[in-house]
Amino acid sequence: MGLTRARIAVDAMGGDFAPEEIVAGAIQASAELGVDVLLVGDEQQINSLVKKHGGKNSEQIKVIHAEDVIAMKEEPLKAIRRKPKASINVAINLVKKKQADAVVSAGHSGAAMASARLKLGLLQSIERPAIGAVLPTIIPDQSVIVLDVGANVDCKARYLEQFALMGTIYSRYVLGRSEPKVGLLNIGEESSKGNELALSTHKLLTDNPQIPFLGNAEGRDVLSGEFDIIVCDGFVGNIVLKFAEAIGEVMLQIMKEELPQGVHGKLGTAILKPNLMNIKRRIDRAEHGGALLFGVAGICIISHGSSRRGSIFSAIRLAKEAIDNEVLEKIKANNQQQLATETHTEATAN
């Protein structure tokens, strides 16, 4: 990207705490991350909030009017077609028209996925998009990306193979893992374990030289740091994601309850504060912001519906990292290489 500032469209009307928390997080991100933010939604409401949160005079904040919103209860595909001027549609159109480099939304995730797929299309050789969530591990400053965590309830083995390829590129260039390790989520380490999907996928991952496949990963291995990429279908992945989020919330609550009370408690808490902040940073889902929608021809970050300003800030940071590291371009190049290899193999066989 050189010296060009990343331009990130933010669906300001999406989420349980929209638009205020979305606007506040976006303004913070613009100031601290050096990105241009395009806030999409009700112009009057957003302008009022921009003024309230100190972004009025910033040249890096732009408001794009969208007159409609897709509610959480609406059926996604019907809604995005019935409401072409909904905030998520307008935001994704900005990416399609090259007026923004990425889009961030904490609104209806199904609508965001459907809109991105219809308007941006899929990358060459990718048959299904996948949501990749970055989770902390027990190893400090080392994350694992789990995909798919909800885009595809039912999968075929070749879809998981494609997820593994995209996850490998992301892990290598964004998470900084020079030799990433891919694991297939399964009920046992042995290659003979699992259902038909797991067995078929294991063979594809083993046979693909572009995938650094380490083997099966059990549930206890997801956050162990032993793997950098975990692949699974969206049904299982979504359960894993929600469980991991719940564990983080439970741990934070237990810490609050177990800290001693009174004067001595306050003194102890003050001494432990740096450690407690580090623990919160590692396990709080707000620190991870959102999940990248892999496979579409554009950068799309899907945030949790209950996102507040901290989560939105982190989601914009995630989008910026994907832009700066040219993840989309690298996935495209890898797909072309994979396609060329398959074509050569077929030609040789014939």
- Provide the token pair at 141: 């400053």
CA 58 to chain centre: 27
Query: At residue 179, does pLDDT exceed 70?
Result: yes
- How many percent of the chain have pLDDT more than 90? 70
- CB environment 26-62: b (16+ within 10 A), e (fewer): bbbbbbebebbbbbbbbeebbbebbeebebeeeebbb
Provide mean pLDDT across the span 121-149: 92
Residue 2, pLDDT score = 45
Distance CA 172, CA 178 (A): 5
pLDDT tens digit sequence for 257-300: 776 666 556 666 665 666 655 655 555 555 666 899 999 999 99
pLDDT tens digit sequence for 4-24: 789 999 999 999 999 999 999
Query: At residue 1, does pLDDT exceed 50?
Result: no
Query: At residue 50, does pLDDT exceed 80?
Result: yes
Distance CA 116, CA 90 (A): 11
Residue 335, pLDDT score = 81
Query: Full-prediction pTM beyond 0.85?
Result: yes
Q: Which residue has the higher pLDDT, 286 or 54?
A: 54
CA dihedral 274, 251, 137, 206 (to 10 degrees): -170
Residue 35, pLDDT score = 95
Query: At residue 138, does pLDDT exceed 70?
Result: yes
**Range in 86-100, 276-290, 302-316 with the lowest mean pLDDT:** 276-290
- Provide the token pair at 337: 């290489």
Q: Cα(first)–Cα(last) distance of the chain, in Å?
A: 42
Distance CA 247, CA 241 (A): 10
Q: At 342, is the pLDDT very low, low, confident or very high (cuts 50, 70, 90)?
A: low
Distance CA 10, CA 17 (A): 14
Q: At 61, is the pLDDT very low, low, confident or very high (cuts 50, 70, 90)?
A: very high
Provide mean pLDDT across the span 218-223: 95
Q: Pairing mode, if any, of strands 182-185 and 36-41?
A: unpaired
pLDDT tens digit sequence for 102-114: 999 999 999 999 9
CA dihedral 30, 323, 68, 83 (to 10 degrees): 180
Residue 254, pLDDT score = 77
Domains recognised in the chain with CATH numbers: 1-126+295-350 (3.40.718.10), 128-291 (3.40.718.10)
Give 133's strand partners. Answer: 146, 291
Provide mean pLDDT across the span 330-334: 89
- Provide the token pair at 49: 């909030």
Provide mean pLDDT across the span 17-40: 95
Residue 89, pLDDT score = 97
Tell me what the pLDDT averaged over the chain comes to: 88
Residue 183, pLDDT score = 98
DSSP for 48-109 reads: HHHHHTT-TT-TTEEEEE--B---TTS-HHHHHHH-TTBHHHHHHHHHHTTS-SEEEE-S-H
